[in-house]
Amino acid sequence: MMGTEVGLSLQERVEQALETCRSFLRADGGDVELVSITDDGIVDLRYHGTCVICPMSRMTLRAGLERAILRAAPEIKRVEAVNVR
């Protein structure tokens, strides 16, 4: 089960969660990059490609990316995009 794999760091678990979403983003010409994970449990992401201008990027952030990250790393409190319009 994702999130309970022994020995993976928090960053590795977040990256794995993002990887599960990337094929969907890339299919529409976009991508996402992990910028940072704060000590407070906030994940900052940066959109690339069409994700930067997509009107659905906030929904993708909450319903897709954040959900996948929280499943993999329940200690994360929130996911934010640093370049959302």
Q: Which CATH fold would you assign to the domain 10-81? A: GMP Synthetase; Chain A, domain 3 (3.30.300)
- Spell out the residues 6+ positions from residue 69 whose beta carbon is closer than 8 angstroms to its own: 14, 17, 18, 43, 76, 79
Q: What is the band of 7 on the pLDDT scale with cuts at 50, 70, 90?
A: confident
Show me where the domains of the chain are located: 10-81
Query: What pLDDT does residue 17 have?
Result: 98
Q: Strand pairing partners for 30?
A: 49
User: What pLDDT, in 10s, does the model give residues 29-77?
Assistant: 999 999 999 999 999 999 999 999 999 999 999 999 999 999 999 999 9
**Predicted pLDDT at 2:** 47
Banded pLDDT at 5 (limits 50, 70, 90):
low
Which tokens in the block code for residue 56? 């659905």
